[in-house]
Amino acid sequence: MFSRRSAIAGICTLAGLALPSAVVARAAPPKSWRLRPGDTVGLIASAMFSDDLFEVEQIKSTIAAMGLVPRVGRHVTARYGYLAGTDRQRAQDVNDMYADKDVRAVFAVHGGWGSARLLPFLDWNMIRANPKLLIGFSDITALHLAFAARAGFPTIHGPNAANRWEEASWNSFWKLAFAAETPLFRNPETQGLDPLLQERWRTSTIRPGKAVGTLIGGNLSVLASLVGTPWLPDFEKKILFLEDSGEAEYRIDRMMTQLGQAGILGKVAGIVFGQCTRCAIGIPDYSGFTVPQLLHQHLAPLGVPVFHGANIGHVSNQLSLPVGVRAEIDAEAGTIRILEPAVA
């Protein structure tokens, strides 16, 4: 197991030796500039609070190990109930980071709950005029989806700043954010691994085929909670990716039913359901549907390529995945091929 500082620092040393040549930005859609060693990046807390100053110092060390310079938002250590400050305070930190010309990307510190509450208070005209990568996952899905709908530039669904940045997470993030590459993502090979690891890394084809479209998605619970709000993008011909954690089977069923009856599932070109971590009701002798059975029930009839098990979500070595760029999925091979750079 890699420590987040040693793993990032080691790879970053190599990365700094040979960054690829610049990619010319296209007029539409706008893209953020790639990250380079020495760039200043913002730290925001759009959801749960972190009043542990030692943790904040650890997070700053993680960012520094990436070769970047952290700038902590004013309200990251504030507390308002279970939130990092009031809705307006948390929104102001986001607005400040996008208005600051010295800040080149924005990392969410934590997930939890609360990001959706600040969406009405964001300065969308200003954010749209200042494309910068937003990095985070879980509750940060609310920001990813709203950015896709209102800002129009790519973001990255990857570890929050306080999470462990293990090798696969860092490698995939570096390829997207620093190198402007278009990688092929797949789970590690399972041949020769012990049976438990083989099961963990195995992908399952729900409906075979290939599909091309713009990647959109994130946490299932957060996405479902935004149905009926003005913060969801158009899902027509998109590649939808989903993940979740700590949800019982009946709740997965309920949320997938909601997405289906809201017309979202019927619009997409393909679906990747990543990991559903600890998604079990925990009742002895439970005899209801399993999560894989539910996914087959809801997704197989759609008539589009679908696979399950990509290492996306609340798991170690989760992939950093771009939101808002075109990609191709191969449901039989269990792969996601990025077709355009996420940054310029």
- Is 249 a residue of the active site? no
In whole angstroms, how large is the CA radius of gyration of the chain? 19
- The span from the CA of 241 to the CA of 238, in Å, is 9
The SS3 of residue 102 is: coil
CA pair distance 156, 108, nearest whole angstrom:
11
Q: How far apart are CA 84 and CA 252, in angstroms?
A: 28
Give the Cβ contact number of residue 293 at 10 Å. Answer: 12
> End-to-end CA distance of the chain, in Å?
33
Q: Which helix (H) or strand (E) holds 63?
A: helix 53-65
Q: Which of 32, 46, 138, 172 is catalytic?
A: 138
Angle at 291 between CA 313 and CA 143, to 5 degrees: 35
Q: Which DSSP letter does residue 104 get?
A: E
Given the residues 166, 181, 243, 249, the one annotated as active site: 243
Contact 201, 102 (CB under 8 A): no
Which of 110, 144, 298, 314 is an active site residue? Answer: 314
> CB atoms < 10 A from the CB of 78, how many?
18
**Cα–chain center distance at 159:** 7
Q: Is residue 144 among the annotated active site residues?
A: no
**In whole angstroms, what is the distance from residue 174 CA to residue 13 CA?**
12
Helix axes 4-15, 53-65, angle to 10 degrees: 30
Assess contact for 99 and 126: CB atoms under 8 A.
yes
Catalytic status, residue 332: no
Q: Which of 209, 217, 284, 293 lies closest to 249, judged by CA?
A: 293
- Give the contacts of 27 (CB within 8 A, at least 6 positions apart): none
Positions annotated as catalytic residues are 138, 243, 314
